Structure 1
Amino acid sequence: MIAQRNVVLDDGRILSTYDSAPGTPQAFTVIWHHGSPQTGALLDPLVSATASRGIRIISYGRPSYGGSTPLPGRSVASAAGDVAQVADALGVGRFASMGASGGGPHALACAALLPDRVASVCCLAGIAPLTAEFDWFDGMVAPGGLRAAIDGRTARAQFAEIDEFDPRSFIQIDYDTLEDPWSSLGRDAMRAGDGGPDGLIDDDVAFVSPWGFDLSQVRVPALFVQGGMDRIVPAAHGRWQTHATSHGELWLRPRDGHISVLNASFLALDWLQANAN
């Protein structure tokens, strides 16, 4: 039974959290950072995979997602302070940090800024910091939201009024994966979308702004999993981040797209536990 709890932070904000094994602080724990947009609710395949491995998994809705209090102007680094308070409230000491897509940067923030608490980190199809060191937009089918975000929150909010999902962003295996086994992801993304665009707007602005930390600060074992046919976050992002961290390892899955690469998360859980320091 997944336990849902609203955690009140020091500044009075609320974060909606989900815990697969409340009251078991001795279990190896993974804190999951959801994609953009999602509510923060735990997804069925992750619940099944962690349960079979005896792993406790916790997730939370970032500000403006899933009932969590908005925080306009938040940076990627903001996630570290929020997660530290969530971990304290749920009785978690050390943990692994894991995120997919828009959750990837936030998982890395925890690894960089909470070195005494994060044992290992995994980033699946996660976007890299905006940089001129490679062609950051190359291979993205529909980068309009990110391009608008460069001009600030107001510009990104205006783009949200006309934004529509481009079906070319997914390849066929992505669509197949959304049918099974990751159908819960699609349903959750729809719920997040119904809640309004603010979470996604703030995510995009944070992604193209200074993150508040450097990837060289990630000194724990770091796994980057990237689909070679990803049309939302192209493979170059994973390659660049792997080299930017001191203990980075890249799993490049040439035939995967942005969604199908999530099938590697089950093996990635084993990697996180085996490489926890």
Structure 2
Amino acid sequence: MGSERGVVTTAGGRRIEVLTAGDPDGLPWLWIPGSPSAAADYPRLDALAMKLRLRMVTWSRPGYGGSTPRPLRAQGPRIADDVADVDAILAALGMDGFVAVGWSGGGPRALACAAMLPERCQAAATLAGLAPFGAEGLDWFAGMGPGNVADFTAALTGSEAYGAFKEMYFLPMTAARVDDVKAGLGALLTPSDDTARTAELAVWLTEMMHRAGAQGVIGARDDGLAMVAPWGFDVTGIVVPVAVWAGGLDTTVPFAHGKWLAANVPASIAHLIDDAGHITLVNKIEDVLRELLEITETPLHKRRHV
């Protein structure tokens, strides 16, 4: 039936741009893309949601797209802050139980839902998702591409300096053409990737990037600041089943992050794929969702944990 765009207003008066698709009567599926991102239609996901009888819900985080920024507090933004917006979105849409899937920088938000809404989040998945900054036993930057190393290092310098960094390096990306994005994707593909999906993926990522910069650098700045700060919840206390998908050829989010999450999230189900990269895991989204649906249909005492 296609996607529908709307606005949810929080108790504090902020506007959140929301996009829904798939089966109106299906199990709610929160789709949380990475950083930077904003709500943009992806027909492949719309069709998949309908096929699996899911109601896909995605949104633009504060400062992205048409979503009102949060006031920048002295302690800075936290990943946990987004859970209150999730709660507001679900309430406005009349939704209760849900599953959450986060890709890359969206992974920590999926973990936050599992940690902070355990009575409603029935299962979650992190695809090439980051581990907490400063996690014990993890060299957070090891194996990470130089662009991301530079970005997160800049985030550690504080909001003003990082904002200037984003003005220089992020804003030009918001004017990228589809061909530019497609060429960039080519550098991330692995020999096992389905290159046939690249063109469609490039169109979606291009629109998402354009919308992400609608308010300048605010959303991207706050995303980076939140990632290198304390997240506001403890991943080692998660009791909801969490599928951890990570690729051994990923230089955007190193394989070690997925391994750390698989070892430290108590209810994790590990999918550590040696020959997968950052894009591979998006192309496996149907497998991801089918597993989450299987988990939600399995009695708690029979759920498998690793």
Q: Compute the TM-score of the two structures, normalised by the length of structure 2.
A: 0.83
Work out the CA distance in 1 between the residues paired with 2:238 and 2:24: 29
Work out the CA distance in 2 between the residues paired with 1:266 and 1:14: 31
Name the aligned partner's letter for residue 197 of structure 1.
Answer: V
Task: Check 1:228–1:58 CA distance in 2 against 1; reply closer, same or farther (3 A cut).
Answer: same
Counterpart position of 2:240 = 220
Counterpart position of 1:2 = 3
Work out the CA distance in 2 between the residues paired with 1:91 and 1:236: 38
Which protein shows a greater Rg?
A: 2
Counterpart position of 2:140 = 136
Name the aligned partner's letter for residue 98 of structure 2.
Answer: F
Work out the CA distance in 1 between the residues paired with 2:55 and 2:226: 29
What pairs with 1:91-130 in structure 2 (closer than 5 Å)? 91-130=94-133
Task: Check 1:241–1:42 CA distance in 2 against 1; reply closer, same or farther (3 A cut).
Answer: farther
Work out the CA distance in 2 between the residues paired with 1:193 and 1:258: 20
Work out the CA distance in 1 between the residues paired with 2:78 and 2:186: 26
Task: Check 1:175–1:183 CA distance in 2 against 1; reply closer, same or farther (3 A cut).
Answer: farther
Aligned partner (choices 146, 151, 158) of residue 152 of structure 1: 158
Judge which range, 246-255 or 116-125, deviates more: 246-255
CA contact under 8 A between 1:178 and 1:259: conserved in structure 2?
A: no
Aligned partner (choices 200, 204, 210) of residue 220 of structure 2: 200
Work out the CA distance in 2 between the residues paired with 1:246 and 1:44: 34
- 1:140 deviates by 1.0
Aligned partner (choices 185, 188, 201) of residue 171 of structure 1: 188
Task: Check 1:249–1:177 CA distance in 2 against 1; reply closer, same or farther (3 A cut).
Answer: farther
Counterpart position of 1:53 = 52
Instruction: Write out per-residue CA displacement over residues 213-240 of structure 1, whole angstroms, 9 at most, x where no aligned residue.
Output: 0002321110011121111100111111
CA contact under 8 A between 1:44 and 1:184: conserved in structure 2?
A: no
CA contact under 8 A between 1:13 and 1:69: conserved in structure 2?
A: yes
What pairs with 1:15-94 in structure 2 (closer than 5 Å)? 15-21=16-22, 24=25, 27-71=26-70, 72=72, 73-94=76-97
| Aligned-partner SS, 1:211 | coil
Counterpart position of 2:180 = none
Work out the CA distance in 2 between the residues paired with 1:172 and 1:60: 27
- 1:177 deviates by 6.6
Aligned partner (choices 189, 203, 207) of residue 184 of structure 1: 203
Identity %: 32
Work out the CA distance in 2 between the residues paired with 1:182 and 1:139: 25
CA contact under 8 A between 2:63 and 2:219: conserved in structure 1?
A: yes
- 1:181 deviates by 4.3
Task: Check 1:180–1:234 CA distance in 2 against 1; reply closer, same or farther (3 A cut).
Answer: same
CA contact under 8 A between 2:102 and 2:110: conserved in structure 1?
A: yes
Work out the CA distance in 1 between the residues paired with 2:3 and 2:22: 7
Unaligned runs of 5+ in 1: none
| Aligned-partner SS, 1:102 | helix
Work out the CA distance in 1 between the residues paired with 2:294 and 2:156: 39
Aligned partner (choices 285, 301, 306) of residue 265 of structure 1: 285
Work out the CA distance in 2 between the residues paired with 1:158 and 1:169: 29
Instruction: Write out per-residue CA displacement over residues 181-203 of structure 1, whole angstroms, 9 at most, x where no aligned residue.
Output: 42333222331354222211111
Task: Check 1:62–1:171 CA distance in 2 against 1; reply closer, same or farther (3 A cut).
Answer: same
Aligned-residue RMSD, C-alpha? 2.3
